[in-house]
Amino acid sequence: MREWGSDSSDAAALYVFAVCDAPDPALFADVPGFAVGGPLRGLRCGELTAVVQTVPAADFTDEAWQARMSDRGELERYARAHHHVVSAAAALWRTVPLPLATLYHGEDRARQALIAETERFRAALKRTADHAEWGVKVYAAPPPTDEPSPALRASGSPAGRSRPVPGAGLAYLDRKRGIQARRERRHEESLRVADTVDAAFRNVAAEVRRLRLHGPELTGTSRLQILNATYLMAENRADELAPLVRELRERTGAEIELSGPWVPYSFIGEV
C-alpha cells in the first residue's frame, strides 16, 4: 500500500501534517487523511513523531495547489482534511501543526529536515503545553439607514442637479460634512469597543495575535467586523471565557463571536 511505482505518473510525495511527542506512532492509523493518499501514519524523527501521509506527487505539485486555490470546494476539502488530522493528533498528544502543504520527496528527506528542527519543535511544544487558542471576533452594527450612502445619493435626484435652489451647493457641503462627522464618531466608537474587548481578553490570556480584519466579502454587509484576534489561553482558564463574553456583550452592546478551543496554530511560530 505504501509502495508507489517508480513510473513518474504515480510517483509519491510525503505530506507532513504535524509533529508531536507521540509515544506510539501506530495509533495514527484510525484517523483519515487526504482521500487521495495512503493511510495516515507516524514517522519517528528522533525523539518526536511526525504525522505523515504518502500522497500521489502529481496531486501535490505547485501547479496542483494553484488550481486548487481557484476551486473553493477543492480547497475546502484539503484545508479541512489538514485541520482534522492536526486536531485529531492534538487531541491525543502535544502537537506542533505544520502549515498546509508541507511536502517532502520521501521519508528520509522528511526525517532529515524535521530532526534538524527538533529544538524549535521542542520550544514550541513547551510554549503551548496545556494551552489552547480561542478566536474572538467583534462586530459593530452597520450605519443607520437614515444616513443615505454617497453612492445612492449621487445617482438619485437629478432634478436638483439641473435646477438647484439657491444655496444648494452649500447645503450639499454641509450635508457631506455631517455624514463625515457621524462616520468618524461611529468609527471612534468602534475602535473603543474593539479595544475594550481586546483588553479584557488580554487580561486572561497568555499571548495574543491580531488577525487581519475580515472585509464585507466575508462578514456580509449587515455587520462590520471591528476586531479579529486570537488568544492563547491556559486550559484551566477556559471556563472563564463564556462569562467574559456575556459580560462584554452587555457592557459594549457589540456582537462578539468566540471560537475555540483551537490547536494553538497561531502561537506556534516564534514572533
Partner 1 sequence: MTDLDLEREACPIPGPPNSNLADILERILDKGIVIAGDIKIDLLDIELLTIRLRLFVASVDTAKKAGIDWWETDPALSSRAARDALQNENRELRERLEAIESRNDDTRTAR
Distances (CA, A) of 58 to 13, 61, 135: 9, 6, 35
Sheet of 224-234: strand order equals: 207-210, 224-234, 131-140, 255-262
Number of H helices, E strands in the chain: 9, 9
- How far, in Å, CA of 225 to CA of 197, rounded? 13
Q: How far is the CB of 40 from partner 1 (least distance, A)?
A: 16
Q: Which of residues 92-111 bind partner 1 (CB under 8 A)?
A: 92, 96-105, 109
Any bridge partners for residue 43, and if so which? 50
Q: Which of residues 111-130 bind partner 1 (CB under 8 A)?
A: 113-114, 117, 120-121, 124, 130
Please, are residues 79 and 34 in contact by the beta-carbon 8 Å criterion? no
Q: Which stretch binds partner 1 (CB under 8 A): 28-36, 38-46, 87-95, 194-202?
A: 87-95
Q: How far is the CB of 75 from partner 1 (least distance, A)?
A: 7
> Which residue lies nearer to partner 1 by CB, 66 or 203?
66
Which residue in 21, 39, 65, 196 binds partner 1 (CB under 8 A)?
A: 65
Q: Which of residues 17-56 bind partner 1 (CB under 8 A)?
A: none
Any bridge partners for residue 104, and if so which? 14
Please, are residues 208 and 231 in contact by the beta-carbon 8 Å criterion? yes
Q: Which of residues 198-217 bind partner 1 (CB under 8 A)?
A: 211-217
| CA-atom Rg of the chain in angstroms | 26
Please, are residues 45 and 121 in contact by the beta-carbon 8 Å criterion? no
Q: How far is the CB of 201 from partner 1 (least distance, A)?
A: 16
Which residue in 48, 52, 224, 254 binds partner 1 (CB under 8 A)?
A: 224
Residues 131-170, one symbol each (x = binds partner 1 by CB under 8 A, - = not), give -xx-x------xx---xxxxxx--------xxxx-x-xx-
Any bridge partners for residue 54, and if so which? 14
Q: How far is the CB of 248 from partner 1 (least distance, A)?
A: 19
Is residue 218 a contact residue for partner 1 (CB under 8 A)? yes
> Which residue lies nearer to partner 1 by CB, 19 or 248?
19
- How far, in Å, CA of 201 to CA of 138, rounded? 12
Count the site residues for partner 1 by CB under 8 A. Answer: 95
Reduced to 3 states (helix: H, G, I; strand: E, B; else coil), residue 146 is coil
Q: How far is the CB of 44 from partner 1 (least distance, A)?
A: 17
